């Protein structure tokens, strides 16, 4: 369909650079109410009389305020006043509220990771940066709290108590339908997020920086890094995460604690990927494995993937109760600390029998887990200075 043109042949297609200038001037929201859902409205002159897309003559208006203006319900003097003093510039952010209407938490899709059942993604110290808080009252929807800090460390986009806010510290916030794209500079994208209420929030791309921590989501992969060093933890492939929170980070040291989580994966690369630097990765000890009551040999599990390929994996459990529920007849539960686990794996011939380590498997889907060598590196004691040559 040909683009709509006015009497001077001008189309509705506004150049990207002009749109960016308009968004920055209007505080990334409707000039009247501050809504982060908006369209571009020509006012001086109106579109029918415009020869060019002059950013000084275009403002952001949400659908409701645009309708009120067209119906004569928005006083002209108020409209002109807000064009020069947008409400979002006064408050410091544009927003949108009441987009969650259900009593359950929506899924968060982060790269190829699906966080279900109200599972949070990221907590640093006592601050929740991406996850859910309990409802304000019984029957109310859960409260999503999401605070994105860009590559400069500024908070530029947030969802606090289910209210979406686009902060003026951002270089650019571009809204298209239910999607937002946040930039810290030209060609530097910090966030691409899409809301599909009430069931899903999709984060296609993210570069988060807070203190010395960085969480980068790109090309369907999540990388967690500290102080500019190579990634401590890389997670790739399809996986579903259920539990309190995937990344629980210390504020001022490279320490990661993940506990009480069930991670199940399907086809594709290992959901845990690799752990290049094991010094910052911690496991909640003890962990548990299943041993044959007759000879104490470990239980090895057969897993069939979507292509019917038979994999032999070594199941490890982080929750004693969950391990008991999955213990076959004739096997017993054995607790291990990190040193016992390393020795047991190396002396029982598991490296030759199994393809991978699997954490907390259930009866429906399995996580392929991380490869043996990466897992063993997390258990191997680090040499001291006088031991190295």
- Judge if 128 and 193 occupy the same domain: yes
- Judge if 112 and 237 occupy the same domain: yes
- Judge if 252 and 208 occupy the same domain: yes
- pLDDT (tens, 9 = 90+) of the chain, 389 residues, equals 455 789 999 998 899 899 999 999 998 889 998 887 778 999 999 999 999 999 999 999 987 898 888 888 888 899 999 999 999 888 887 776 644 545 567 889 998 888 988 899 999 999 999 998 887 666 666 777 889 999 999 999 987 766 678 888 899 999 887 788 999 999 899 999 987 766 788 999 999 999 999 999 987 788 899 998 877 787 776 788 888 899 999 999 988 887 777 777 644 433 333 333 333 334 566 778 888 888 778 877 765 433 334 457 777 777 777 677 767 778 888 887 767 777 776 676 676 677 667 766 653 333 445 556 666 665 655 444 443 33
Total domains in the fold of the chain: 3
Strands 331-336 and 287-292, sheet pairing: antiparallel
pTM, rounded to two decimals: 0.58
Per-residue tokens: 41 = 């409205």
Is residue 6 assigned to a domain? no
Of 239, 242, 238, give the one whose Cα is nearest residue 116: 242
3-state DSSP of 68-122 = HHHCCCCCHHHHHHHHHCCHHHHHCEEEECCCCCCCCCCEEEECCEEECCCCEEE
Distance CA 193, CA 175 (A): 10
pLDDT tens per residue across span 107-117: 899 988 889 88
Is residue 385 assigned to a domain? no
Mean pLDDT of all residues in the chain?
77
Distance CA 110, CA 93 (A): 25
H-type helices in the chain, by residue range?
A: 16-26, 63-70, 76-84, 87-91, 320-325, 338-347, 350-353, 372-379
| Residue 17, φ and ψ in degrees, nearest 5 | -65, -35
- Judge if 269 and 299 occupy the same domain: no
Count, residues in the chain: 389
Distance CA 108, CA 371 (A): 26
Of 214, 38, 206, 196, give the one whose Cα is nearest residue 110: 206
Per-residue tokens: 341 = 């686990």
Is residue 384 assigned to a domain? no
- Judge if 300 and 373 occupy the same domain: yes
Distance CA 171, CA 156 (A): 9
Q: Is cis: bond before 254, omega within 30 of 0?
A: no
Per the CB < 8 A criterion, the answer to whether 107 and 242 are in contact is no
Is residue 11 assigned to a domain? no
Helix 338-347 vs helix 372-379: angle between axes, to the nearest 10 degrees?
140
Of 236, 225, 237, give the one whose Cα is nearest residue 277: 225
For the chain, the helix, strand and coil percentages under 3-state DSSP, each to the nearest 5: 20, 40, 45
Distance CA 373, CA 226 (A): 22
Q: Is cis: bond before 48, omega within 30 of 0?
A: no
What is the three-class DSSP state of 288? Answer: strand
302: containing domain: 287-379
pLDDT tens per residue across span 124-180: 999 999 998 887 666 666 777 889 999 999 999 987 766 678 888 899 999 887 788
Is residue 157 assigned to a domain? yes
Is residue 388 assigned to a domain? no
116: exposed, middle or buried (Cβ count in 10 Å: 0-12, 13-18, 19+): middle
What is the three-class DSSP state of 127? Answer: strand
Is residue 7 assigned to a domain? no
- Judge if 130 and 253 occupy the same domain: yes
Distance CA 218, CA 101 (A): 30
CA distances from 136 to 117, 133, 140, 161, 162 (A): 18, 9, 7, 9, 11
- Judge if 223 and 367 occupy the same domain: no
Q: Is cis: bond before 286, omega within 30 of 0?
A: yes
């Amino acid at each position: 369909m040909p683009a709509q043109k006015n009497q001077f042949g001008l189309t509705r297609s506004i150049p990207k650079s002009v749109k960016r200038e308009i968004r920055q001037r209007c505080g990334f929201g409707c000039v009247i109410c501050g809504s982060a859902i908006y369209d571009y409205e020509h006012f001086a002159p109106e579109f029918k009389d415009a020869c060019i897309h002059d950013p000084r003559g275009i403002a952001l208006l949400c659908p409701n305020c645009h309708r009120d203006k067209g119906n004569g319900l928005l006083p002209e003097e108020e409209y002109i006043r807000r064009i020069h003093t947008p409400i979002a510039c006064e408050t410091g952010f544009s927003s949108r509220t009441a987009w969650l209407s259900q009593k359950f938490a929506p899924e968060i899709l982060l790269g190829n990771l699906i966080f279900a059942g109200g599972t949070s993604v990221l907590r640093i110290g006592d601050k929740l940066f991406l996850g859910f808080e309990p409802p304000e009252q019984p029957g109310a929807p859960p409260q999503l709290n999401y605070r994105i800090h860009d590559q400069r460390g500024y908070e530029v986009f947030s969802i606090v108590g289910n209210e979406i806010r686009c902060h003026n510290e951002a270089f650019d916030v571009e809204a298209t339908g239910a999607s937002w794209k946040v930039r810290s500079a030209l060609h530097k994208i910090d966030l691409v997020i899409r809301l599909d209420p009430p069931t899903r929030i999709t984060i296609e791309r993210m570069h988060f920086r807070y203190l010395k921590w960085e969480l980068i989501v790109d090309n369907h992969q999540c990388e967690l890094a500290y102080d500019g060093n190579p990634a401590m933890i890389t997670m790739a492939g399809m996986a579903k995460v259920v539990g309190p929170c995937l990344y629980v980070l210390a504020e001022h040291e490279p320490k990661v604690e993940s506990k009480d989580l069930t991670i199940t994966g399907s086809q594709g690369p290992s959901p845990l990927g690799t752990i290049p630097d094991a010094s910052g990765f911690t496991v909640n000890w003890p962990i548990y494995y299943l041993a044959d009551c007759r000879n104490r040999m470990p239980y090895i599990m057969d897993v069939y993937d979507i292509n019917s390929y038979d994999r032999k994996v070594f199941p490890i459990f982080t929750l004693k109760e969950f391990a008991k529920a999955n213990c076959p007849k004739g096997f017993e539960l054995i607790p291990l600390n990190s040193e016992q686990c390393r020795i047991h794996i190396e002396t029982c011939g598991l490296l030759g029998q199994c393809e991978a380590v699997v954490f907390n498997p259930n009866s429906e889907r399995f996580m392929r887990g991380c490869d043996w060598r990466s897992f063993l590196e997390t258990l191997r004691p680090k040499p001291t200075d006088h031991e190295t040559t």
